[in-house]
A and B are shown apart, each in its own frame.
Chain A
Amino acid sequence: MVGRDRPDLLLLSSAAALLAMGLMTVYSASAVVTDSGIFGRQVLWVLIGVLFFAGGTWISFRRLEEISPLLFTVACLLLLITLFVGSGPAGRWLVLGPMQLQASELAKASLILICGWWLASLRVRPRKMGEGAIFLTVLPAVLLTAVQPDLGTAVSMLMLVLAMFIWAGYGPGWIFLLISPVIAAVSSTGFPLWLAFTAVLSFILYRRRATIQSWILFLGGNSLVAALTPLAWNLLEPYQQSRLITFLDPATDPHGAGWNIIQSEVAVGSGGLFGQGYLQGAQKELAFLPARHTDFVFSVWAEETGFLGCFLLLTAFLLLIWRITLAARKSVNPYNSLVTAGIASYLAIHVFVNVGMTLGIMPVTGLPLPFISYGGSQMLVMMFLLGLAVNAGMYWREV
């Protein structure tokens, strides 16, 4: 047994501040409709979340590492079940008696654990094509989420894996090879682009003294991806196509997703420097804002508290992410370090994608804003992960 530090007070207080701001915003957003019970349920979720947080601080990382593959398998199975019996607006909910579970939230958390498990294992005992095995492992979770269809969450999962690779010390060349299929897909829009991409890919393979198998795999595989992308585009759900197109040009769809972005921008912008005042948001009041207590919750906060409030909220997030990353840096045990860095990435990705969406600089996806958005599954998962991060900071000497 090694010694433990006190819990990181700065981390805890920034998380508490975020939870408080979240409850305030959900209350304000749901106050439009009387007796909706949304605020009451969110308070309940936070209270249960405190238990999950305690669980996260209490659990042993050793034990967690052992059961990581099991947890990931369970999460994938839940995703699979959701695919067949899912309900809710987009069929993404799994109904368990009185509970509704969003399996993709669990999958994201278990993805952090399984990636930490694999990367730590490779650190101890490098294996040929071990990195490829990691991608094959996470692929079911990503694909099952993508076909839900929840493209936003699937892409955020890939970004999460990427971040953990960076943390594990893989260099820029590695990362380029990793995301080369994505670049290949983008490059398929123009032949010169594709030529340039292939040239860079060849250069990196040459520099890394790649084997003939790697040459065939990367060049052949990426050419195939580039060739199949136009076909895959046609397989996307029309609403996903429209979301991607709308992101590039919001004016194309004044009724649908573009409408949401415009309304959200108006709400955020009308907050000004000091905001319209708590509970005074006009756009929210008039229900122009879509999904105002879930996906677009930030718009409500921005409208009512203005630039100063947003600055406060984003600072709290940045502080929290920084403290978690510090805990990851301190941790001696590679698994602990990787999982903690994964949690920080999870937070950063969610904050950027969600807030970016409400500001019109990211596409409209269903990614919630951690600690702020209304929703049980993601609140409990997030609180557990927060507990884990605190846990890692306390027991950083553990080998």
Chain B
Amino acid sequence: MRRAEGKRGPYLLFMAFITLLFIMLGVRLFHLQVVRGGYFRSLSSRNHIRVVASPAPRGIISDRNGILLADNVPAFMVSAIPSEFDSSRIELVAAELGMESSQLNQMLQSASGMPHRPIVLREGMTVEEASPSAENLFRMPGVMFDVAPLRRYHMPQEFCHLLGYVGLSDTHESYEGEVVGRAGLELALDDRLIGTPGLRREIIDAYGRIVEEFASSAVEEPVPGTGIRLTVDSRLQAIATDKLSMTGLPGSAVVVNFETGDILCAAAVPTFDPNLFARGIRLDEWNALLDDPYKPLFSRAWAATYPPASTFKMVTAAWLLSEGLIEEGFRPDPCFGSYTLGDTDFGCWSIHGRLDLVEAIARSCDIYFYRTCQLGTLDGLATFARRFGFGSTLCELLVGEKSGLVPDSDDLDRFYGEGGWGLGNLLNVSIGQGELLATPLQMAVSAGVIASRGRMPLPGILLDREPRGTVFAGPPLPDQVWAPLIEGMSETVESSRGTLHGVFAGSTLEFYGKTGTAECLGDDHAMVIGFLEVPEPVAICVVIEHGGHGGAVAGPVVRQILEGFYSSGTAGNGAE
């Protein structure tokens, strides 16, 4: 290191450079504060730059024929920035917006943690509702009116469970007025439907009026969400909802196309109005929905499980034939109306006499299956039943879909303790009772599997989905197994002693069906599964909760739905 005099070069270089840096800062400061100070002060003192996100319209949902089920309408959204809100005007603002001032006060209080973030006071106001208040905007500093797309459901009752509903997002990452899916497909497909919000920066004055859009920024327009097209036929869904609600009981109907796997209808009653959620549901409305004993929010078609009852005999029959436990013409000992195992009596609902398999299906004899199922084991039946789709979910997009239960020996060991159960459990399961549980969707699919002779694809709800293979897993079964089942379901309708004979008397539709009556507390659940080959390859399941005997209650609903859809001039929907 040189002496002090020798350090002159570095010293001068050093100080010159540092002084230059400070001069740069000074020039910049002078520019910002003195040259443009007035401009910035006008922005700052009571005017603020605000980044505003314009909500993106959610994707449009339509049915298989392009009929609109959900779209968006422009509506007014009123929001407030708590830090700019004049709390002495709280009464005025509450009156203008038709709210309680205590409610408004509470909303402002709860947002005090983030006072500069706009909170939504009211959404979904129509032009008529909003315009008188908008004229008084100058008296309400900190309050803003924005046009935001409002979700509108065109067939709200019919599609409430399938489409679900939307609501304001309340996470910290969301922007003001961001709408997200809360239930149903709106929730499951939120990523596709949600779109990208637009952004713009505004300079606003103390009264919330936009002075100018901030000059240096590009305005980004919102990008609407992607539309989706469902496999559902809205006319069929409407008919099914109508016929179900005419029973006055909770219930559901599922129709699937067993050649394509398309879910054509998944209706349930009672229903609710999802438009209430779109415009912001009130607490009393929400509580009314929650307190309703019939649970209208419950998606019965895939989230409810019932014992499939006698409709399950189709699976038991298929199992008996495919395992070679019986031949088609096998006739066990006759049905005398009851069967005694040990000290327990297993009753049948009638006295059927000696039957073969086709007759046992058509007349739904329990004793036939009590006697024959003992040729196999519970685990054999459970494994086989799972190949029909029982015990697992079938369509991942259906929010809350239940898998049901196909009990095997492990399950029963768990329920009753090892050895705490016996042959009686197999007898119960063979006629679809006991621990067995299935959703209406699974029951409809099981009918589709039989109708398609095991070739039915896995069901889906989106028209543009990827194929996912067949429901019926494992090696295919020969026609000798399927033919007697289909004949049995035909005889159920055709034979004079069939359980659906009276219901379908005089119908032009060639229906194949099977009834079921699930024992439960109170009146039994009534259910029918079945399928049509003409005019369309569709399988159906109708469940009426506490409807009593399957054929008598669910049967007419099946006939009304199918005839309503196929016999009213525009039979077939042309999409296939």
Contacts and interface: CB of A to CB of B under 8 A. Distances in A.
A160 to B, nearest CB: 13
B217 A352 contact: no
Contacts of B22: 314, 317-318, 351-352
B29 A282 contact: no
A336 to B, nearest CB: 9
B377 interface: no
Contacts of B34: 272-273, 307
A270 B43 contact: yes
A188 interface: no
B4 A359 contact: no
B325 interface: no
B25 A266 contact: no
Contact of A361 (B14, B28, B33, B48): B28
Interface stretch (A104-112, A148-156, A321-329): A321-329
B15 A322 contact: yes
B216 interface: yes
B37 A273 contact: yes
Interface stretch (A161-169, A198-206, A236-244): A161-169
Interface stretch (B5-13, B177-185, B310-318, B395-403): B5-13
B331 interface: no
Residue of B1, B7, B41, B216 with most chain A CB atoms under a 10 A cut-off: B1
B89 interface: no
Nearest to A275: B33
A144 to B, nearest CB: 27
Contact of B25 (A265, A333, A352): A352
B40 interface: yes
Nearest to A270: B44
A283 B44 contact: yes
Interface string A171-202: 00000000000000000000000000000000
A298 B27 CA distance: 16
Contacts of B46: 282
B32 A337 contact: no
Residue of B2, B9, B11, B14 with most chain A CB atoms under a 10 A cut-off: B14
B4 A330 contact: yes
A338 to B, nearest CB: 7
A287 B4 CA distance: 50
A341 B32 CA distance: 32
A226 interface: no
A208 interface: no
Interface string A326-361: 001111111001100100110010011001100111
Given A286-B83, A348-B18, A272 B38 contact: yes
Contact of B40 (A270, A286, A325, A348): A270
A257 interface: no
Contacts of A267: 44
B45 interface: yes
B30 interface: yes
A311 B39 CA distance: 21
Contact of A272 (B9, B18, B41, B48): B41
B505 interface: no
B1 A337 contact: yes
B216 A251 contact: yes
A271 interface: yes
Given A168-B1, A288-B116, A344 B40 contact: no
B211 interface: no
Contacts of B39: 269
Given A251-B216, A314-B22, A271 B11 contact: no
A344 B14 contact: yes
A348 B44 contact: no
Contacts of A321: 18
Contacts of B37: 269-273, 306-307
A328 B10 CA distance: 11
B45 A270 contact: yes
A163 B32 CA distance: 30
A311 B49 CA distance: 27
B468 to A, nearest CB: 35
A317 B18 CA distance: 11
Nearest to A269: B40
Interface string B516-555: 0000000000000000000000000000000000000000
A337 B116 contact: no
Residue of B26, B33, B49, B218 with most chain A CB atoms under a 10 A cut-off: B33
Nearest to A171: B9
A167 B7 CA distance: 8
A325 B49 contact: no
Sorting the interface of chain B by its residue count into under 10, 10 to 19, 20 to 34 or 35 or more gives: 35 or more
A306 B33 contact: yes
B44 A282 contact: yes
Contacts of A361: 24-25, 28
Contacts of A381: none
Chain B interface, DSSP helix/strand/loop, else mixed: helix
B3 interface: yes
A355 B33 contact: no
Given A120-B1, A273-B37, A329-B11, A311 B26 contact: yes
A230 interface: no
B206 to A, nearest CB: 11
Given A282-B45, A286-B48, A310 B116 contact: no
Contacts of A311: 26, 29
A74 to B, nearest CB: 27
Contacts of B21: 348, 352
A259 B51 contact: yes
A372 B568 CA distance: 83
A262 interface: yes
Residue of B21, B25, B34, B44 with most chain A CB atoms under a 10 A cut-off: B44
Nearest to A352: B21
A96 to B, nearest CB: 31
A168 B18 CA distance: 17
A291 to B, nearest CB: 15
B2 A169 contact: yes
Contacts of A359: 25, 28-29, 32
Contacts of B10: 166-169, 341
Given A169-B9, A255-B51, A325-B15, A334 B44 contact: no
B29 A268 contact: yes
Nearest to B29: A310
B467 to A, nearest CB: 37
Contacts of B152: none
B36 interface: yes
Contacts of B14: 163, 166-167, 325, 341, 344-345
A302 interface: yes
B201 interface: yes
A378 interface: no
A62 interface: no
A307 B33 contact: yes
B49 A262 contact: yes
B45 A123 contact: no
Contacts of B32: 265, 268-269, 359
Given A269-B32, A269-B39, A334-B1, A254 B199 contact: yes
B217 A251 contact: yes
Contacts of B43: 266, 269-270
Contact of A302 (B18, B33, B201): B33
A145 interface: no
Interface of A: 120, 123, 163, 166-169, 251, 254-255, 259, 262-263, 265-273, 276, 282-283, 286-288, 302-303, 306-307, 310-311, 314, 317-318, 321-322, 325, 328-334, 337-338, 341, 344-345, 348, 351-352, 355-356, 359-361
Closest 5 CB pairs of A and B: A269-B40, A334-B1, A270-B44, A272-B37, A307-B33
Given A166-B10, A265-B32, A352-B24, 16 more contacts: A123-B1, A166-B14, A168-B1, A169-B10, A254-B199, A254-B217, A259-B51, A269-B40, A270-B44, A286-B116, A307-B33, A314-B26, A317-B22, A325-B14, A329-B4, A341-B10
6 contacts: A169-B7, A307-B37, A344-B18, A351-B22, A359-B25, A359-B28
